[in-house]
Structure 1
Amino acid sequence: MGRIYSVEDIFMKAYKQADYHVNGHGPRNLQVLKDAIEDLNGELESDMYGRGKVIEEFEEKMAGVLGKEAAVFFPSGTMAQQIALRIWCDEKELKTVAYHPLCHIEIHEEDGLKELHHIMPILLADVHRVITLDDVMNIKEEVACILLELPQREIGGQLPDYHTLEEISAYCREKGILLHLDGARLFEVLPYYKKSAQEVCALFDSVYISVYKGIGGIAGAVLAGSREFTEKSKVWKRRHGGDLISLYPYILSADYYFDQHIHKMNQYYEEAKELAEFYNHCSGITTLPKVPVSNMFHVHIEARKEDMEAILAPLYEETGIGLTGHVRENGENGSSFEVSLGDLYSRVPKNRLKEAFAKLDEKMQSR
């Protein structure tokens, strides 16, 4: 007896076989590394336990980009951010920090901050909105550090306005509260703010960036701040087992794709606004935010996950356009998915994209 395929199986197969995909930079396969190292001299020496030309030159480059005294490359952002908060808590001799209820540290790291560092969080703001100055000013408990995520991924990539950031930064400095930036997607929000990375990072005492999201590297993160702060982070990096004998595949790919993509962030932002408009013209579909403030947003649908997959699978087969490969339940009768634009969107023929959305609207109306 042959295998019985589920709606999700059929949906995923149709997505993979589509001629064009709208999200991201492309498949995360070995070609990502091959392209990054193709023109490099094979005699280039690797880094060794956090030292060497490969890692030190990249760290110096990132420190300059972010406008900080120094930077350290980490194998993961989870490691980097927990270490940043630990350093600030030790400095203040206080084991309390504050961040958004949907912060990555709170919902995706198996309570690592609490279990490994015994640091307890205070959750700021409602889950559906970004942190405001009032939220910060109304903290009743004493905190060592506040973490702000720009953009706030779990609520569609929403952002506080820049003036609010300046106010929060000034308030924290007045009160002696350290301010840490979860800037996993920092470069993606700069076109909206119309600011440089240095200008945004100047508002924060420490900064984390991802090198595999919008930048498009294989994996890894950068933590930046004062030289005293980064030297302490190196000690904690060793304690966490983050000093692998060599990290050069991650570093070389990060450096290569940073140069490839950093000047395209405004393009991705403008394309995200265009794509969101296509979605918002479809019956029963809205985006959050309605007008994106970065290259990412969430799509909310008035249809269950299985029903939406049943709509999208034949749409992909008919049009050759793969809109998303992941739909999730969102409430009892709704579903949603995340959009994050990179190089692939500009390769989709506009006439075929418009045709796909016209058909999607028809299918949504005829449910």
Structure 2
Amino acid sequence: MTISRVTIFQLDWGRLSSIWHPVVVMVQTTTGQCGWGEAGIAYGTGARGAVSILKELAPRIIGRNIWDSNAIWEDFYEHTFWAKNPGSTMYAAISALDTAIWDLKAQAIHQPLYQLLGGKLHDQLPAYASHIEYGWGPFSRYVTVPRDFARLAKRAVEQGYSAIKVDPITQERGQGLIHNRHLLSPAQLDRYYQRVAAIRQAVGPDVRIIIDCHANLTRRSAQQLVQRLAPLGIDYYEELLPSIDPAQTVRLARETGANLAVGEHLTGPQTYLPLIKDVAMVQPDLGNCGGITAAIKIAALAEANGVGLQLHVCGSPIATAAALQFEAACSNFVIHEEHEINLKDANYQSGQYHYQPVNGQYQVPDRPGIGQELSPIAIKHAQVTIIDK
């Protein structure tokens, strides 16, 4: 089956388009089949950069056989020069195309993607409520006071979630970002503690709490936070430090003994090597780690070192669907990230099929491929680029 066309969709999110701009690709064959993938760079800065790289990479796969996915990935790595450096926009583009090709392969045999990954190990995938501090509802509302953290945590637990993730530090006051992050003041530490303590008091001892700091701390301030929150029974800490210097994360893990999770900012399997023996969880994003091809290697590396896997999932329904398929076949899978962005109607409705967790559990979809595509309304409002030669 030969690839004949690549279509790039820059999704339009209306009034929130300035902060949320998913980039989705559709790879089409000469027989008319379409595979879908996503560049995991829907937030922050870089979506347009990923689109530009997609425009350059797409002609490299026109005329290629979908079953040559390893050779296509190696071509990206060996012959584009910049793929040998872990750049986010480059790997976001590679990831989108790679996932779309895997989607096509699974569709070609009329099977869910998990069958190509060795078969389904999990019929249901437990999920956690990710980032309740953003309001955990249909509209974003950043919360800052402990009673609101408690209220939203209780809402998630009542919906069936047995685990909650929260960033207690980024919103210092209102929507002001953290200051003085190199060494936290007693007032800062107390503010963060009170927020998490309110969650723990509201949900009781049996609900897992995950802390995410969006890489906004240094090793010393992270040590302070881990020590302060220790009495609250934190399950693991995600992205305490920037991953640009992995030695700092290794040192933090060894000095504190805390369960650390990394991966949201890492691209390519090699970037996990300095960290893999010291972290508790890897969190690759299928939209920027290098796609399904790279994620297979990352998962195997983690399993060989006794490390769990929890994909980072913060994107359109394309990203969610691909993650569910991969996790279903992953032996060291721990938990699925149900990001609050999936509660937003504009994002949710951009998928043709509607997948939601029930009582905190995802049923693994059994449609062919990743089992998802863009909805007609998403396509209608997207900025579209077609590359066929």
User: Higher helix fraction: Structure 1 or Structure 2?
Assistant: 1
TM-score (structure 2 length as normaliser): 0.31
User: Max radius of gyration: which structure?
Assistant: 1
